């Protein structure tokens, strides 16, 4: 489920790839390490979505030093199957490569910014055209690198699904013609590359994409789509400093009763700086802690069978009576009634109910077990990582 909150963000996996490429090209980290979303607790969390502006800035710094064609090749080389999580397996585990790329198009927002990037598939007789649409100017080198990388990524995933190297009939790029494009010839395995085209696309024979995937397992695509939906529902878009603060506060809250020094340490700032930044965002420490408690308690009431006494102890309240007073103040009802009615999250959140966990799914094969393991991990984590609004 894509919401407005996903717009302007990309997966942390994409950002990690950008940083890997920047390091390989020797781009100094001091030029980007301060950007939003690059703190280890966010960058290494697959549920966090990094501001798209962060990835763009890293690409800008990289393309100042190296040709965009080389950046696109290195990004593709670093993108082994599984690097982008469930999105990769939507392609490689579908009954046919074509069905897989269709699923990947439907769920592109898992990895890309849904407000700027689209994957389109056109069947034209004996050919299938896969287009990556991004409206940035053709002369903007970071966008050129991203478009070229995207097409190379689709080719690699489709080849992995077919278990053989698929060579495109042609490639078109909405990019200014570079001085050299040897890296792109290596990336696509063809010299039939057209620049300054209206759109970026890669074309295959239909027969290459419609044959059965050799290792497809019945029912696995359904499991993967469910996991993709869970990934989007549990995502934490990091748009600004306040998002980062609320993520840090929620993570501390999950471990212990949050204190100002503990959250400041998590964010690597002084308590004085933290209070000043909260004031700049027209909020206070006490208001944010109250909202975090409200969100935490609501999730425990809806998602667990813990007693009110146990929830009070976990949430920093002296006893169940104090918790009941807080719930009455927030919702005008009792914890028991709130649990029965299953009302949506507290005012000021996204307004969406916390996604329900699914029962266990049993499918044959190692791939299914691996995917289900990731589903269980996400389901276990998503409740404790939802942002406080």
pLDDT digits (tens, 9 = 90+) for 103-148: 999 999 999 999 899 999 999 999 999 999 988 889 999 999 999 9
Buried b (16+ CB within 10 A) or exposed e, 34-43: ebbbbbeebb
- Give the pLDDT band (50/70/90) at residue 4: confident
Q: Strands 236-237 and 48-51: what pairing?
A: parallel
Long-range contacts of 37-44 (CB under 8 A, 24+ apart): 37/12, 37/238, 37/244, 39/244, 39/267, 39/268, 41/247, 41/248, 41/251, 41/266, 42/12, 42/238, 42/244, 42/247, 43/12, 43/15, 43/16, 43/19, 44/12, 44/16
- Give the pLDDT band (50/70/90) at residue 362: very low
- Give the pLDDT band (50/70/90) at residue 303: confident
Confidence check: pLDDT of 202 > 80: yes
CB 353 within 8 A of CB 342: yes
0.85 exceeded by pTM? no
The position carrying tokens 């013609």 is 177
Q: Report, as an integer, the average pLDDT of 254-274.
A: 83
Q: What is the pLDDT at residue 244?
A: 81
Q: Report, as an integer, the average pLDDT of 271-284.
A: 92
Q: Strands 193-194 and 48-51: what pairing?
A: unpaired
Confidence check: pLDDT of 383 > 90: no
- Give the pLDDT band (50/70/90) at residue 19: very high
Q: What is the pLDDT at residue 1?
A: 64
- Give the pLDDT band (50/70/90) at residue 237: very high
Q: Residues of the chain with pLDDT > 70: what percent?
A: 87
């Amino acid at each position: 489920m894509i919401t407005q909150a996903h717009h302007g963000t990309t997966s942390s996996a994409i950002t990690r790839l950008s940083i890997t490429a920047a390091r390989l090209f020797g781009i100094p980290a001091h030029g980007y390490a301060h950007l939003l979303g690059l703190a280890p607790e966010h960058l290494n969390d697959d549920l966090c979505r990094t501001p798209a502006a962060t990835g763009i800035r890293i690409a800008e710094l990289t393309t100042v030093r190296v040709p965009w064609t080389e950046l696109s090749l290195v990004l593709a080389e670093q993108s082994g199957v599984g690097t982008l999580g469930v999105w990769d397996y939507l392609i490689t585990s579908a009954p046919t490569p074509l069905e897989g790329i269709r699923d990947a198009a439907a769920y592109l927002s898992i990895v890309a910014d849904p407000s700027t990037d689209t994957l389109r598939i056109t069947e034209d007789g004996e050919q299938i055209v896969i287009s990556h649409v991004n409206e940035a100017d053709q002369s903007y080198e970071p966008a050129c690198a991203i478009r070229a990388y995207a097409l190379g990524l689709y080719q690699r995933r489709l080849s992995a699904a077919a278990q053989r190297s698929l060579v495109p009939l042609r490639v078109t790029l909405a990019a200014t013609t570079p001085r050299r494009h040897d890296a792109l010839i290596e990336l696509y395995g063809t010299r039939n590359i057209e620049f300054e085209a209206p759109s970026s696309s890669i074309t295959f024979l239909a027969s290459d994409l419609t044959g059965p995937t050799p290792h497809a397992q019945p029912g696995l695509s359904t499991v993967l789509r469910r996991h993709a939906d869970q990934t989007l529902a549990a995502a934490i878009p990091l748009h600004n400093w306040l998002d980062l603060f609320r993520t840090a506060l929620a993570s501390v809250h999950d471990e212990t009763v949050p204190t100002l020094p503990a959250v400041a340490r998590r964010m690597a700032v002084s308590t004085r700086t933290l209070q000043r930044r909260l004031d700049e965002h027209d909020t206070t420490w006490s208001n944010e802690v109250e909202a975090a408690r409200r969100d935490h308690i609501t999730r425990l009431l809806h998602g667990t069978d813990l007693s009110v006494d146990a929830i009070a102890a976990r949430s920093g309240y002296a006893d169940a009576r104090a918790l009941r007073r807080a719930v009455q103040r927030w919702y005008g009802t009792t914890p028991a009634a709130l649990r029965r009615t299953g009302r949506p999250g507290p005012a000021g959140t996204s307004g969406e109910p916390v996604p329900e966990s699914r029962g266990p799914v049993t499918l044959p094969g190692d791939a299914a077990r691996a995917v289900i393991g990731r589903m269980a991990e996400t389901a276990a984590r998503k409740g404790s990582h939802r942002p406080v609004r």
